[in-house]
Structure 1
Amino acid sequence: MTCPPGTYLAFDFGERRLGVAVGQSLTGSARPLETLDCRQGIPWERLRALLDQWAPAGLVVGLPLHADGSPSAMSEAAERFARRLHGRYHLPVHHVAELLSSVEAEARLRESGGHKAGLDAVAAQVILETWFAEAAHGAS
């Protein structure tokens, strides 16, 4: 897998919330942006505004998998979200297993004294950093 240089947005998809992070492939670093409320559906207008603001080279969606690598109940919903992102915005959409991203996000928030309200955005940050690391090591 190659990761063209540029800015990327990542998403931690959930039925109620969507965590968003932004990062740079050159440095392999990411930061949480915001958590969007999805209880009334995907906030497509806000996503468009974020894409207009950051002009990403691509998007990364975390796929929730079980520890053995098999799909979870949320995997199909996350894949559907990824297909919809690609269909609406015509950007490359990459997937990365998000195994334990929320656990890592909780640990980071505890260390930094952050608020749990930012958990989903920090999970998106973990997802993007994982994807950058896998791309740097040639993982698929």
Structure 2
Amino acid sequence: MACLFGFDVGTRLIGVAVGNTLTATARGIAAVAVREGQPDWTRLDALRREWLPERAIVGLPFNAEGKEQPMTRTARRFGAVLAERWQLPVEFADEGHTSQEAARRFAGQRAAGLKKRRDAATIDAEAAAVILEAWLAQA
């Protein structure tokens, strides 16, 4: 069983999820701040020490035509820095429609009374979980 991290890279927050290859499931664990184009590496490094992932999966956003856009390049740069900094294999996965799925899950959790509006930042972590689960389903 391998522990994996999934990332949903944004300009203000990076959603982080943890999952494993045994159950092929994932769950959001954090939404890490991005300031002046740099993620909070102190927080990300602490999450790495806590979970000890063996691989990272970074979501790649494409435009409606399936072509790269500025955020695609931002996600690729984040993945490259992550691979160098953590000395881990990093793979990329198309994150098409993950934000919508994360919002749908969040709405369901709110309706069930499990989440409140103030928990909206967890949508980024949930999006990372959706990315990771999609990757696990194809692995």
Per the normalisation by structure 1, the TM-score is: 0.89
Deviation at 1:57, TM superposition (A): 1.0
Tell me, yes or no, if the aligned pair for 2:32 and 2:44 is still in contact at 8 Å. no
Unpaired stretches in structure 2, ≥5 consecutive residues: none
Q: What is the distance in 1 between the residues matched to 2:64 and 2:95? A: 10
Partner of 1:103: 100
Unpaired stretches in structure 1, ≥5 consecutive residues: 136-140
Cα shift readout 1:5-42 (whole Å, capped 9, x = no counterpart):
40001110011101000001111000010101112421
Code of the residue aligned with 1:55 in structure 2: it is L
Matches within 5 A, 1:75-94: 75-94=72-91
Q: How many residues align?
A: 131
Partner of 2:21: 25
Percent identical: 40
Code of the residue aligned with 1:10 in structure 2: it is G
Matches within 5 A, 1:1-140: 5-40=1-36, 41-113=38-110, 114=115, 115-135=119-139
Q: What is the distance in 1 between the residues matched to 2:16 and 2:83? A: 16
**SS across alignment from 1:74:** helix
CA RMSD after TM alignment = 1.1
Per the normalisation by structure 2, the TM-score is: 0.90
Code of the residue aligned with 1:73 in structure 2: it is P
Q: Select between 94-103 and 110-119 the one with higher mean Cα deviation.
A: 110-119
Cα shift readout 1:31-80 (whole Å, capped 9, x = no counterpart):
01010111242111111111111111100100001233211220001000
Q: Select between 121-130 and 33-42 the one with higher mean Cα deviation.
A: 33-42
